[in-house]
Copies of this chain bind each other. A is one copy, B any other.
């Protein structure tokens, strides 16, 4: 059954193995359901029951063993891919001592679903073997009540550390840092450090460097592990260390750590408190998680969804309601645009062709403006847009709008003339398109820049502001020009 040899950890084999297990679990859950149901009927004999039960047990034992061979992240993947019923079955097959590690790898929504069914005692047992910062991360996603229940059941020492991590704001370096690190003094010899390290059974994960501190635990520099290995054993840490560590304060935002890790290719970096004392490390795995999470939620934030709350298997009613704010705002802006049209009903009544043509002007404006928005948002995310750059981009986008307005205005004008044979109508729509592209370029640059300036997420609001403007202005410009020159 175990078709992954220990030497074959290529992702394709893992994917296959995972897919098999998911398939088996789903089938297993259906079977159990069937057994339960048919058991209700009177015609089912006790013997059949026993056989079905034995077969089911055998299957489950085999599945349990396969799950035991998986990395916690792969088990988490399996759990996330399953519907609620087989998911519960799978969870019951994960060995208790591994449940903490698995929970840590599981998406928030699924984690919450799993933990909510467990008594607080059991949750406490499951999380106890984990590192304090991991415990904090886990229970931060629990409802307030069960969080307190679990905290009460932890050891005193753990509790203090967990509380300290929980006290940092969610998106800070402090909340994501690793409390486990090895620090050494400048005057120690490399040999002494090596001896010291040998007494530990292992190093904290992602230890590519030892942190050098003074007596007051203040950051002095770092000693790369490679220099510890390659340097003269008699030389001191002070002689071998680097004195220019990139470091972070506990209240720095994770985004700042992400930028630095990306630029300087770091594996880990010390985190200090306000007195420059080392309190932990931030490691590249936390940074990778932060980047990946940001990337995955960006598409969702753009359409007014939060990402965190989006369990694909949550009840429909809740999911529907979570989309209301976004739909409400869009209904409002669409309604405004509609009132602009309403003001020109007389004009449209006189020339019905306008009704068919006006959405084109609005729509191309929105599309063109969204290109500007995307460029500005990327520039802002990369920290490349100071005030002078923004001014330059605005000029640029307006220039592009003029060029594209003339080009596509011409195309649309010709198409309109061919369709309706009215040269004045063709001119009006060409002019309206060009003007609306100018509006789109202006709003496309200014909306994200302004949202960013006022500390709002430009990803979330820009597109609404833009579309509201390009729709209303598109209708206004086109119908206004038509009212003035055509009707």
State the A residues within 8 Å of B (CB): 6-7, 9-11, 19, 22, 26, 71, 73-74, 77, 80-81, 83, 105, 194, 197-198, 200-203, 205-208, 220-221, 225-230, 243-249, 252, 256, 258-265, 267, 284-285, 287-289, 291-292, 294-300, 302-305, 307, 310, 312-313, 316-317, 319-320, 323-324, 326-328, 330-331, 333-335, 337-339, 341-342, 345, 348-349, 352-360, 362-364, 367-368, 370-371, 373-375, 377-379, 381-384, 386, 388-389, 392-393, 396, 399-400, 403-404, 407-408, 411-412, 415, 419, 459, 467, 471, 475
Q: Which residues of B contact A362 (CB under 8 A)?
A: 359
Cβ-closest chain B residue relative to A194 = B229
Contacting pair B327 A368 (CB below 8 A):
yes
| A7 CA to B11 CA, complexed, in Å | 42
Task: Using A105-B263, A263-B105, A371-B323 as known contacts, say yes or no to A345 and B352 having CB atoms under 8 A apart.
Answer: yes
Contacting pair B367 A326 (CB below 8 A):
yes
Task: Using A327-B368, A353-B345, A359-B338 as known contacts, say yes or no to A11 and B374 having CB atoms under 8 A apart.
Answer: no
| A400 CA to B471 CA, complexed, in Å | 26
Cβ-closest chain B residue relative to A19 = B386
Contacting pair B364 A330 (CB below 8 A):
yes
Q: Which residues of B contact A364 (CB under 8 A)?
A: 327, 330-331, 334
Q: Which residues of B contact A208 (CB under 8 A)?
A: 206, 208, 267
- Excluding A71-B264, A265-B285, A327-B368, 7 further A-B contacts by CB distance (< 8 Å) are A6-B244, A194-B229, A206-B265, A267-B267, A300-B375, A305-B374, A316-B400
Task: Using A248-B10, A288-B288 as known contacts, say yes or no to A334 and B320 having CB atoms under 8 A apart.
Answer: no
Task: Using A298-B295, A353-B345 as known contacts, say yes or no to A319 and B228 having CB atoms under 8 A apart.
Answer: no
Contacting pair A335 B246 (CB below 8 A):
no
Contacting pair A303 B202 (CB below 8 A):
no
Cβ-closest chain B residue relative to A294 = B295
Highest count of chain B CB atoms <10 Å: which of A262, A265, A317, A328: A265
Q: Which residues of B contact A407 (CB under 8 A)?
A: 320, 324
Our pick among B249, B324, B363 for the contact of A10 (Cβ within 8 Å) is B249
| A349 CA to B345 CA, complexed, in Å | 10
| A341 CA to B360 CA, complexed, in Å | 11
| A403 CA to B323 CA, complexed, in Å | 11
| A19 CA to B383 CA, complexed, in Å | 11
Cβ-closest chain B residue relative to A242 = B6
Task: Using A197-B229, A230-B202, A360-B335 as known contacts, say yes or no to A302 and B267 having CB atoms under 8 A apart.
Answer: no
Contacting pair A9 B244 (CB below 8 A):
yes
CB<8 Å pairs between A and B, sample of 19:
A73-B263, A197-B229, A203-B229, A206-B208, A206-B267, A265-B285, A291-B295, A298-B299, A300-B375, A300-B378, A303-B367, A303-B370, A303-B371, A304-B371, A320-B403, A323-B400, A327-B408, A338-B359, A339-B356
Contacting pair A302 B392 (CB below 8 A):
no
| A278 CA to B264 CA, complexed, in Å | 27
Contacting pair B388 A26 (CB below 8 A):
yes
> How far, in Å, is A18 (CB) from chain B's closest CB?
9
| A7 CA to B81 CA, complexed, in Å | 47
> How far, in Å, is A285 (CB) from chain B's closest CB?
4
Task: Using A201-B230, A356-B341, A404-B323 as known contacts, say yes or no to A375 and B316 having CB atoms under 8 A apart.
Answer: no
> How far, in Å, is A406 (CB) from chain B's closest CB?
10
Contacting pair B374 A303 (CB below 8 A):
yes
Q: Which 4 A-B pairs have the closest CB atoms?
A: A295-B295, A73-B263, A265-B285, A355-B355
> How far, in Å, is A14 (CB) from chain B's closest CB?
8
| A272 CA to B257 CA, complexed, in Å | 32
> How far, in Å, is A343 (CB) from chain B's closest CB?
9
| A226 CA to B228 CA, complexed, in Å | 11
| A105 CA to B353 CA, complexed, in Å | 55
Task: Using A81-B389, A370-B303 as known contacts, say yes or no to A226 and B202 having CB atoms under 8 A apart.
Answer: yes
Q: Which residues of B contact A330 (CB under 8 A)?
A: 363-364, 367
Q: Which residues of B contact A371 (CB under 8 A)?
A: 303-305, 323, 326
Q: Which residues of B contact A341 (CB under 8 A)?
A: 355-356, 359
> How far, in Å, is A213 (CB) from chain B's closest CB?
13
Our pick among B292, B313, B386 for the contact of A262 (Cβ within 8 Å) is B292
